[in-house]
Structures are given as C-alpha cells and as structure tokens.
C-alpha cells in the first residue's frame, strides 16, 4: 500500500499542475545506484529547507515544487513512509539552519540541483 506521503506527492505534482508562477514537469531521474540516490535525495531535501528558511536563497513556488516532487520520486523508489523520510532526511536538513554558515554553504547547491533536474527533463514553465 502506498503511503500517504507518496500519494500526496504524486497527486500534487505528477500531472504538472498550473501554479501561481508556473507549471512543473517532473524529471526522469535515472537509476544512479543506492549511494548516489541517497546523496541526491539528501541534497534535494536540504535545498528545499534552505530555500524556504535562508535569506538570499528563495526560489519560486514552481521551483520548490520541482525540488519537492523530485524528492518524492526518490522517496517512492526507496518506499519511505513519512516517518522514515522525516527521520532520515528532513530532520537532519533542518539541522543545517542551526549550524554556523549552513545556509551560505548549502544555498548555492539549489541552482546546481535545478540545472541537473532540467537536464533530466524537469521543467518549470512560467505562466
């Protein structure tokens, strides 16, 4: 049975809904191997947390949905339930906010991730 988390991600993002500032097409994330996929999921979750909480790294709602939807795809591959996702990825990502220089260190990776998702056909289309 699919978890509520995965169902919510799929329902919200897989169809690429129109958003206030654009539409989202989720990428085709290739099989990368377990270690690389865990690293990518970690980076995606950190990017979402940083973009929403660190001054100077704000992104559009559609870009946020692209990052979150991509994280949802990977969480689904690992069959993570919400508690596992929170414990393994979300809580550690919030720890970055309390570390000195965490925002400045992690913030630039947001643009790198958005570019990588674009290379995998992830698209944010402005309205």
Domain residue spans of the chain: 4-125
Are the CB atoms for 49 and 58 separated by under 8 Å? no
Give the whole-number percent of the chain exceeding pLDDT 70: 81
How many angstroms separate the Cα of 14 from the Cα of each of 11, 57, 118? 6, 25, 16
**pLDDT of 1 higher than 90:** no
Q: What is the pLDDT of residue 122?
A: 73
Angle, to 10 degrees, between the axis of helix 61-77 and the axis of helix 4-13?
Answer: 140
CA dist 20 and 60 (Å) reads 9
Are the CB atoms for 106 and 61 separated by under 8 Å? no
The answer to whether the pTM exceeds 0.85 is no
18 vs 111, higher pLDDT = 111
């Amino acid at each position: 049975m699919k978890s509520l988390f995965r169902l919510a991600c799929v329902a919200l993002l897989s169809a690429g809904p129109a958003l206030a500032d654009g539409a989202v097409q989720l990428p085709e994330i290739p099989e990368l191997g377990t270690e690389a996929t865990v690293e990518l999921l970690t980076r995606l979750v950190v990017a979402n947390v940083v973009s929403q909480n660190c001054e100077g790294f704000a992104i559009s709602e559609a870009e946020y949905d692209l990052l979150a939807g991509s994280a949802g795809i990977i969480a689904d591959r690992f069959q993570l339930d919400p508690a596992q996702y929170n414990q393994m990825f979300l809580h550690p990502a919030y720890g970055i906010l309390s570390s000195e220089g965490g925002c400045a260190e992690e913030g630039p990776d947001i643009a790198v991730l958005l570019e990588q998702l674009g290379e995998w056909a992830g698209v944010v289309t402005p309205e």
